[in-house]
Structure 1
Amino acid sequence: MQRRALTLSLSGGTVAVLTISAFLIHTPYAEMSPGPTYDTLKSYSTESGQPAKPVIAISGTETFKHDAGGELRMVTVEVSQHDYRPNSVEVLSGWLSDDKIVVPRTVIYPEGQTAQEATQQNTALFDDSEDQAITAALAAKNIKPLRTDVLVDSVTAGSPADGKLQSGDVITAVDGTALAKPDDVHTLIQKHKPGETVKLTITRAGQSQDVSVVTAPSHDTGPARAVVGFVPRTRNVFPFDVKIQLDNVGGPSAGMMFALGIIDELTQEDITGGMKIAGTGTIDADGKVGLIGGVQMKTLAAKRDHATVFLTPAENCAEAVKNAPSGLKLVKVTTLQSALDALKTLRAGGTPTMCG
């Protein structure tokens, strides 16, 4: 009896050690789960204590508010934070869960990417998505840009531009030559040899100023080129102002829903028809809707928040139907126009092109 008791005691101790180890061993995985959804036609406060702001703010032209109770919800996915490593128990729990996905960490955070770089990348993708959505939406309303500005998207740490340029600066001239097109920035800077000074005329907070920067040699292959050390992006300027105001959300996947929200506010007819619509998809300036990640988690988020229709990029349809929540119609879209056509069909009581 004593020997048996000892054996059981040792086995129990081994189990205890294994259990403790499972909680202590951190894994190279990340978790994805359904995140918040936001109706692009409403106002939100994503910062505690801050007043609510409309997701889409349009000024300088006539807009329309509709009272039928329709929604155009963008959806998000919550992911493990950059510095968090789930333990073995959490990973196993995620694999067994219906509302979580476990993926290799590098799927979300590429090898060597810092937390700051990840945040900057997601912010840049969101900003670009915003610009593309505005351009696509206004093109659908036959509204063309007045001009295209070149902005500083980000500044490379330790570069000549560090401390002189800021994200959001609008570059209007290089060495006194006004920019005729966005590509002129690189063309004019590269007329210099590394080590020479270039004068950039910028607009910051509504004020024009000149900034002199000593160029540095590029580090790519081939002959050294003069570089300043910033990443540019373009932004179309229209006859009226359109802003997308949603803090603490990153990435490009809400582009299509932002575009639909803008169109709804500029259209006398309610394009939702009073329906609770959610959706996802990147968008480009020509209105093409593109592939996104985490679609299964996004359909769950949409269903949780009472959507009945989910506008799904065609490239995501096969994955979306695998775990589609009951009662959620997965509508296939390829372009902004196809999404508008699908909503028109739904308003008329018809059936648009579906996934599956």
Structure 2
Amino acid sequence: MSDSLRRGFRLRSSRRTVTLAACAAVIAALLAVAALAPLPVVIVAPGLTADVLGADKGTPVITVTGAPVRRTSGQLRLVTIEATSPQASVHFGDVWHAWFDKGQAAMPRDAVYPSGGSVQEIEKVNQREMADSQTAATAAALKEMGLSPAKVKVTLRLADVGGPSAGLLFTLGIIDKVDGDGHGGDLTGGRAIAGTGTIDASGRVGAVGGVPLKEQAARRDGATVFLVPRAECADAKAQLPSGLKLIPVTTLDNALSALSALRTAHPTPTC
């Protein structure tokens, strides 16, 4: 190879090396920016649970006037998830960590919090959804028991919990407080039963999200049975904790029938 050809080869090789180095530097810079840039997600984890048949901060969760109230045993535990603040900065590293931690998950911010609102506005939305859920739960329970809302008043009090996902458990709690299993016995059969699901006044149960983390919270706090909207069976089965029996429901009647089967040792629905 002539000297001129060698110089040309070295020149092209040198330019290629410089180009590759520049590209690598740009890619590294982009990756660094991506790793440090905040993402539109929140990190969620198992939250608190509460027995709707019990008390919250010394006040009964469910108070009924205008109808006899029975003493209950067992538990009906609503479950929640806790999430990072909607204004918190979540980065790639946080999502990476949550990916490998079964006790955490990354979810789109808009799936957890209403978009475009301040913290105060979000809290108002959550409280309004909770109030609407309690109204629907009361209506569904009284309808199931054949009681008139003009004569029977139900008050539901639970601090630090928002959103509509406790509807099913509130409904079951009201029924257990007033009517039990319909024959004077506990609706729960003395078990610690947890669950999640919205409910409307006609008794239809709706999906809520975050089920795997809610199952962890339920099992952590002693539940052995978990009621889940049937539409979320796939998520519920994916990370079902050991010792927690999963029962899918689509309506209030489904839930009552399943609990009856559980008390009498009959087969219950499965996902």
Structure 1 residue 31: deviation in Å? 0.9
Unaligned runs of 5+ in 2: 1-28
Counterpart of 1:123? 127
Which residue number corresponds to residue 340 of structure 1? 256
Equivalent in the alignment of 2:11: none
Aligned residue for 1:343, secondary structure, equals helix
Decide which of 49, 52, 61 is 1:37's aligned counterpart: 49
Which structure shows the higher strand fraction?
A: 1
Q: Which has the larger radius of gyration?
A: 2
Higher share of residues assigned helix: 2
Q: Unaligned regions of 5+ residues in structure 1, if any?
A: 1-16, 46-51, 147-238
2:162 is paired with a residue whose SS is coil
Does the alignment pair 1:330 with 2:246?
yes
26, 33, 40: which one pairs with 1:28? 40
The residue correspondences of 1:62-77 to structure 2 (distance < 5 A) are 62-67=68-73, 70-77=74-81
The alignment status of 1:56 with 2:62, answered yes or no, reads: yes
Q: CA deviation at 1:105?
A: 2.0
CA contact (8 A) 1:57 1:244 kept: yes
Instruction: Verify the 8 A CA contact 1:137 1:262 in the aligned structure 2.
Output: yes
Over 3 Å counting, the alpha-carbon distance change for 1:25 and 1:131 in structure 2 is same
- Aligned residues of 2:56 and 2:159 also touching (Cα < 8 A): no
The whole-number CA distance in structure 2 between the counterparts of 1:109 and 1:60 is 38
Q: In structure 1, what is the equivalent of residue 108 of structure 2?
A: 104
Give the match for residue 13 of structure 2.
Answer: none
**Would you say the 8 A contact 1:35–1:75 is kept in 2?**
yes
CA drift of 1:25 comes to 4.3
3-state SS of the aligned residue for 2:78?
A: strand
Alpha-carbon separation, structure 2, partners of 1:281 and 1:73:
12
CA distance in 2, matches of 1:344, 1:277: 13
**Which amino acid in the other structure matches residue 293 of structure 1?**
G
Cα drift, residue 103 of structure 1? 1.8
For normalisation by structure 1, the TM-score amounts to: 0.64
Runs of 4+ in 1 over 6 A off after TM superposition: 20-23
Residue 66 of structure 1 aligns to a residue whose secondary structure is coil
Q: CA deviation at 1:24?
A: 5.6
Output the aligned Cα RMSD.
Answer: 2.1
Q: CA deviation at 1:248?
A: 1.4
Q: In structure 2, what is the equivalent of residue 167 of structure 1?
A: none
Match of 2:160 among 241, 245, 248: 248
CA offset digits 1:205-261 (Å, max 9, x no partner): xxxxxxxxxxxxxxxxxxxxxxxxxxxxxxxxxx12211100111000100000000
Secondary structure, aligned partner of 2:168: helix
Q: SS where residue 74 of structure 1 aligns?
A: strand
Note the 1:1-356 alignment, pairs <5 A: 25-45=37-57, 52-67=58-73, 70-146=74-150, 239-267=151-179, 268-355=184-271
Q: How many residues align?
A: 239
Letter in 2 for 1:140: E
* Contact 1:22 1:89 survives alignment (8 Å): no
